[in-house]
Amino acid sequence: MKGFIRSFGYALAGILYAFRTQRNMKVHFAAAISVVTVGLFLRLSPSEWVDVIFAIIFVLAAECINTAVEAAVDVSSPHKHPLAKAAKDCAAGAVLLAAINSLLVAYFILWPKILKVFL
């Protein structure tokens, strides 16, 4: 049981490392707080919250994975190598895809509700 609980500590340490060291993780986190605030104001339905929270967690998880890939590549390949670049680019691409997904979720869920408030 101790090992199981300890693994949560390691996972939290990884998330905090990404937050402390990665500018984009801070940007994604700020965006997440903004979206949750807007969602509370717009009184999203439970199913809408599921979609929004999933999109947020998907982006944050992708950023953590990107950070892990970058760190692993930097340790294993300190010199420039085409495969190291490919690994980093693919990990960054995954974050971009997750961010595009979150923008689409915001567009389809939040935008119509925002328009109703202001029109």
Residue 7 is predicted with a pLDDT of 94
Distance CA 21, CA 66 (A): 12
Where do the H-state alpha helices sit in the chain? 2-21, 23-42, 46-76, 82-105, 111-118
89 appears as a binding residue in the annotation:
yes
Q: What is the pLDDT of residues 37-91, one digit of tens each?
A: 999 999 999 999 999 999 999 999 999 999 999 999 999 988 899 999 999 999 9
Confidence band, pLDDT 50/70/90 cuts, at residue 9: very high
The answer to whether 70 is a known ligand-binding residue is: yes
**Is 63 known as a binding-site position?**
yes
Nearest alpha carbon to residue 28 among 84, 76, 90, 96: 96
- From the list 22, 63, 67, 69, the catalytic residue is 63
Which CATH number fits the domain 2-118, given the four candidates 3.40.640.10, 1.10.730.10, 3.40.190.10, 1.10.287.3610? 1.10.287.3610
Q: Tell me: the pLDDT tens digits for 14-28?
A: 999 999 999 999 999
Six-digit token string for 15: 């998330």
The residue ranges of every structural domain in the chain are 2-118
Q: Is 48 a catalytic residue?
A: no
pTM as predicted: 0.91
Instruction: Please identify which residue in the block is written with the tokens 């990665």.
Output: 22
Report whether 51 belongs to an annotated binding site: no
